[in-house]
Amino acid sequence: MPNVGGGTTTPILYPPGPAPSDLIYQPLPLTILSLNMFAKVMGINPAHFWGGLAVNLTPSVMPVSTCSSIWHHYPWQDADKVSRYDLAIEIAKAESDLAQAVGYYPGPVWITAEKQEYPRVYRREYFGSGGDIRGLAKGVSARWGRIIQPGKRAVDLVATAATVTGSLAYSDEDSDGYNETAIISIATTLTEINEIKVYQNGQDGKPETEIREPRKKYISGGFAYFIFDSWLFINPELYENLPTDQGEYAIDFGDMSNYLGSVDIYREYVDTTDTSCEFYWENAFVGCAVCGGVGCDACSGVIQTGCLRVRNPEVGELVPVPSTYDATAGWSYSCWNGGRDPDTVALWYQCGLQNEAFINHRTACPVPIDWARVIARLATSRLERPFCGCSNVEALSQYLRMDVTRNEGAPGMFFTTVNVVNNPFGTRVGEVEAWRFTTKLADRKVNVAVI
């Protein structure tokens, strides 16, 4: 690693710093494309990407001499290089920009309480009664297409895998002295492996604490099995270590005490017993004799729950229906509480593009590989700090960040068109690549009027 006085320095292995139990881990911003998959797409050394080395092993595994530096969690831990926090922000922004361009997310996401105006009669002086011209319930055009399923996200704890019980084990598959594989095995009666996910212990299955992705996962003989790269199981509290004057530090991947001793296994699914839409009516009265307009049940708006049906998943046409749930009878239709069409409706649903290989259990990554590449390159083009990595990775990041509208003379001269200059993503190489990718898609969401 570069030193201010010249030469190189050996990274200080963690600790120094406060003990992990004294730290508070803060999850990174949630992204559709996992940081682990980003590192694979960009060809980054995975051990260095997750902030560690295993130099105490003989022979040294993934030594720092093969690449220039390790990655840190936050930018303030090394202000001269990009951090995983910087990266997560740019990935999330890239995913949002791509979704805005094509009308659907590049991977599965859960949409919570999306507000939409309920379709009204074309004559504004009239109120509707919930039906369209064909006698069916009115549909609502959701903000996003590629609907997967309506409903709210729910998680149930399946089991806690731990090293003390043998349900979580670290293994050295190639006998090089480093336990590069984490294996989880838990008993289950579930049959859909894509619903079963691994989370950091004690985090209640929050999406941003999911450990992504396993090399392989499957169900066999009443057990669910997960095979991960072990560096994904580094205790996340170690990432909160503060910089010191002793030089750049690294987590010792050869020390098994730096790994998680337990993880939680949850089932993630849509709760079909919970409401998937809510209807809202404006109160028709100007004043209130009860509270004087300050706010009470008498003058507040009317709210009614219901369930969603999918009419056209590609363009995001959903049908909200007023209904009530009974544990025995299920959902049953209800009349409008407001006596007319509601003014607005809130929607809960899961949507986004799904990798066909993921659906068929051939991969654990739900994002199609071509989209993963576009997301990674678009996010990289917007990073303001240099990469921590080998020269080929650094060269790629510099190329993607190059602005094609800048004339710096040969060989940095570019000839651009008006379309490139005006593309909504920007004019850096990675942004132009993403724009060209999205403009050639034939299956983008088409906005349609729903009445």
pLDDT of residue 283: 75
Residue 193 lies in a domain: no
pLDDT of residue 3: 37
347 and 276 in a common domain: yes
The whole-number average pLDDT for the span 44-60 is 79
The whole-number average pLDDT for the span 385-401 is 83
Q: In this predicted model, which residue has the larger pLDDT, 300 or 321? A: 321
282 and 145 in a common domain: yes
Residue 122 lies in a domain: yes
Whether the predicted pLDDT of 231 surpasses 90? yes
What's the pLDDT tens digit per position in 327-343? 888 899 988 887 888 98
Confidence of residue 261 (pLDDT cuts 50, 70, 90): very high
Mean pLDDT of the chain: 85
pLDDT of residue 6: 38
281 and 132 in a common domain: yes
Confidence of residue 407 (pLDDT cuts 50, 70, 90): low
Whether the predicted pLDDT of 418 surpasses 50? yes
What's the pLDDT tens digit per position in 105-117? 999 999 999 999 9
Confidence of residue 410 (pLDDT cuts 50, 70, 90): low
pLDDT of residue 66: 52
83 and 42 in a common domain: yes
Confidence of residue 227 (pLDDT cuts 50, 70, 90): very high
Least-confidence region, from 25-29, 91-95, 359-363, 405-409:
405-409
- pTM of this prediction? 0.87
In the 3-class helix/strand/coil scheme, how is the chain assigned residue by residue? Answer: CECCCCCECCCEECCCCCCHHHCCCCCCCCCCCCHHHHHHHHCCCHHHHCCEEECCCCCCECCHHHCCCCCCCCHHHCCCCCCHHHHHHHHHHHHHHHHHHHCCCCCCEEEEEEEEECCCCCCCCCCCCCECCCCCECCEECCCCCEEEECEEEEEEEEEEECCCCCEEEECCCCCCCCCEEEEEEECCCCCHHHEEEEECCCCCCHHHECCCCCEEEEECCEEEEEEEHHHHECHHHHHCCCCCCCCEEEECCCHHHECCEEEEEEEEEECCCCCEEEEECCCCCCCCCCCCCCCCCCCCEEEEEEEEEEECCCCEEEEEEEEEECCCEEEECCCCCCCCCCEEEEEEEECCCCHHHHCCCCCCCCCHHHHHHHHHHHHHCCCCCCCCCHHHHHHHHHHCCECCCCCCCCCCCCCCHHHHCCCCCCEHHHHHHHHHHHCCCCCCCCCCCC
122 and 84 in a common domain: no
The residue assigned the tokens 């202000």 is 79
Whether the predicted pLDDT of 206 surpasses 60? yes
Whether the predicted pLDDT of 15 surpasses 50? no
Q: In this predicted model, which residue has the larger pLDDT, 298 or 235? A: 235
Q: In this predicted model, which residue has the larger pLDDT, 49 or 91? A: 91
65 and 122 in a common domain: no
44 and 88 in a common domain: yes
Residue 217 lies in a domain: no
Residue 321 lies in a domain: yes
Task: Identify residue 102 by its one-letter amino acid code.
Answer: V
Question: Which of 335, 351, 367 lies at the terminal end of a domain, its last residue?
Answer: 351
The whole-number average pLDDT for the span 15-28 is 58
Contact in structure between 306 and 323 (CB atoms under 8 Å): yes
pLDDT of residue 286: 57
Q: What percent of the chain has pLDDT over 70?
A: 82
> Residue 433: which domain range?
27-98+375-439
396 and 341 in a common domain: no
Q: In this predicted model, which residue has the larger pLDDT, 66 or 207? A: 207
CB contact set of 224 (below 8 Å; sequence gap of 6+): 158, 184, 185, 186, 187, 188, 190, 193, 196, 217, 218, 265
Whether the predicted pLDDT of 8 surpasses 70? no
User: CA 292, CA 36: separation in Å to the nearest integer?
Assistant: 57
280 and 142 in a common domain: yes
Question: Which of 319, 351, 383 lies at the terminal end of a domain, its last residue?
Answer: 351
Contact in structure between 307 and 331 (CB atoms under 8 Å): yes
Domain count along the chain = 2
Q: In this predicted model, which residue has the larger pLDDT, 351 or 8? A: 351
Confidence of residue 67 (pLDDT cuts 50, 70, 90): low
Residue 2 lies in a domain: no
Residue 170 lies in a domain: no
Residue 58 lies in a domain: yes
pLDDT of residue 64: 61
Whether the predicted pLDDT of 414 surpasses 60? yes
Confidence of residue 29 (pLDDT cuts 50, 70, 90): very high
Exposed, middle or buried, 180 (CB in 10 Å: 0-12/13-18/19+)?
buried
Residue 403 lies in a domain: yes
427 and 280 in a common domain: no
Question: Which of 351, 367, 402 lies at the terminal end of a domain, its last residue?
Answer: 351
